[in-house]
Amino acid sequence: MAVFYRQGFARTTLADIAAETGVPLGNFYYYFRTKEALGLAVIEHYRTWLRSRFQSWEESNSDPLRRLDLFIEMTIEDADRLAASGCPIGSLVQELAKEDGTLGAAASDLFSVILTFLEGQFSALGRADHAADLALSLLAIVQGASLITNAFHQPTIQSRVGQQAKRWIRTQVDSATL
Amino acid sequence: MAVFYRQGFARTTLADIAAETGVPLGNFYYYFRTKEALGLAVIEHYRTWLRSRFQSWEESNSDPLRRLDLFIEMTIEDADRLAASGCPIGSLVQELAKEDGTLGAAASDLFSVILTFLEGQFSALGRADHAADLALSLLAIVQGASLITNAFHQPTIQSRVGQQAKRWIRTQVDSATL
DNA sequence: GTCTATAGCTCGATAGAC
DNA sequence: GTCTATCGAGCTATAGAC
């Protein structure tokens, strides 16, 4: 996962992973039939990681607005990694979306998991009418921020855009409360 | 440019370009010393294209708010291409940002060109205080939208997020006018 | 300047000893 | 199950005829 994240999927060779893990090259093909299968396993890991993250937020926090803040703050706390290699999920989606097939669909499905969570929070905040649009916009701004953060290798960008996103959410929620 | 855009830089071979253009493989190395030099030429083309686009908007339209709308509408009109292959500039930046060196820096510089234009419009709208942050946020939301649009291959996503972005701009500008 | 052929290398995947 | 050696395909880049 670490090597795929740092270098991207296509640019990472099995020899790279073998060197970093100490696992001999041939062993991978005992557990994974192809490099694509290895990629699918990584995507599956991200999926379960996302689900457990969201579940823990929903259990430990009853305020939907606070949960949306946690989502944004997570990316701000990760800003150093984002500046170095971008969002691990976003760059996976971007790289694999262009090639059709199983891998691209599996990666894109990670966005569905995120969108479902965000939509739930906006609905709970009284914006069930446009929850889907608001979720799309929030995911877009966070993903775009991490792309720019990575492009300029400047962690502060993620934080600056993140603060704007928090303010934007409040304008959307306040207009519903009125 | 078309093949790089559809397939990405790394995944595109010179044989692909030769097949699509009818230019024999060896000829490329008469005009470009390496594949990287060919990539730099493509980036340079995008840069001049961006500059002429922005200049034409500034000449034909005196309202900065209208110019920001034009920027968003451009991505909406391009939604079909975005759904198929993502933003040509954004995917270039994403792919090349991870590898250091000339190519990544040149690609990221395209974002600087866009940000400078957006910043100018926000400043003209009376938000000189936070023009840089607003420009970052607008670029982020448009780039993120195109990533999601591409991930799900659904052109409508770009339009839905674009409308949200237009509304967001107005809330930022109105608060300055008050 | 244009084109063909191919060198030199790297990668994913496999064979087969242990 | 673990590991080494290597095959075959495909890539960038070059050599050299025209």
Q: Round to whole Å and give the CA distance between A151 and B92.
A: 10
Q: Residue-wise pLDDT tens for chain B (178 aa)?
A: 999 999 999 999 999 999 999 999 999 999 999 999 999 999 999 999 999 999 999 999 999 999 999 999 999 999 999 999 999 999 999 999 988 789 999 999 999 999 999 999 999 999 999 999 999 999 999 999 999 999 999 999 999 999 999 999 999 998 666 5
What Cα–Cα distance (Å) separates residue A149 from each residue in A17, A32, A115, B148? 26, 34, 22, 18
Asked whether A111 and A93 are in contact (CB, 8 A), the reply is yes
**Within a 13 Å sphere around the CA of B159, how many CA atoms are in the beta-carbon half?**
9
CB of B7 lies under 7 Å from some atom of strand D: no
* Residue A51 approaches strand C within 7 Å at CB: no
Would the CB atoms of A139 and B144 count as touching at under 8 Å? yes
Choose among B7, B142, B152: nearest Cβ to A98: B7
- Report the distance separating Cα B97 and Cα A83, nearest Å: 10
Please tell me what DSSP assigns to residue B127: I
**Which residue from B86, B144, B145 is facing A98, i.e. has the nearest CB?**
B86
Quickly list DSSP for A14-49: HHHHHHHH---GGGHHHH-SSHHHHHHHHHHHHHHH
With left for phi above 0 and alpha for psi between -120 and 50, is residue B69 left, alpha or beta?
Answer: alpha
Interface test with B, best of A100, A154, A161 (most B CBs within 10 A): A161
Query: Euclidean distance between the first and final Cα of chain B, in Å?
Result: 46
Q: Collect all residues of chain A within an 8 Å Cβ-Cβ radius of residue B164.
A: 133-134, 136-137
pLDDT tens, A59-111? 999 999 999 999 999 999 999 999 999 999 999 999 999 887 899 999 999 99
With a 7 Å cutoff on the CB, does B27 touch strand C? yes
Q: Which residues contact A78 (CB under 8 A, 6 or more apart)?
A: A158
Distance between CA atoms of B101 and B63, rounded to whole angstroms?
39
Output the pLDDT for position B174.
80
Chain D: nucleotides below 7 Å from protein CB are 1-6, 10-16
Contact A133 B164 (CB under 8 A): yes
What the block records as the tokens of B112 is 């600087």
B98: its two tokens: 């991870």
A154: burial class by Cβ within 10 Å (0-12, 13-18, 19+)? middle
Neighboring chain B residues of A152 at a CB cutoff of 8 Å: 108, 111
Strand C closer than 7 A to residue A140 Cβ: no
Range with the poorest average pLDDT among A124-128, A130-134, B98-102: B98-102
What pLDDT, in 10s, does the model give residues A8-57? 999 999 999 999 999 999 999 999 999 999 999 999 999 999 999 999 99
> Minimal CA–CA distance to B150: which of A137, A93, A4, A116?
A93
The answer to whether A111 touches A139, Cβ cutoff 8 Å, is yes
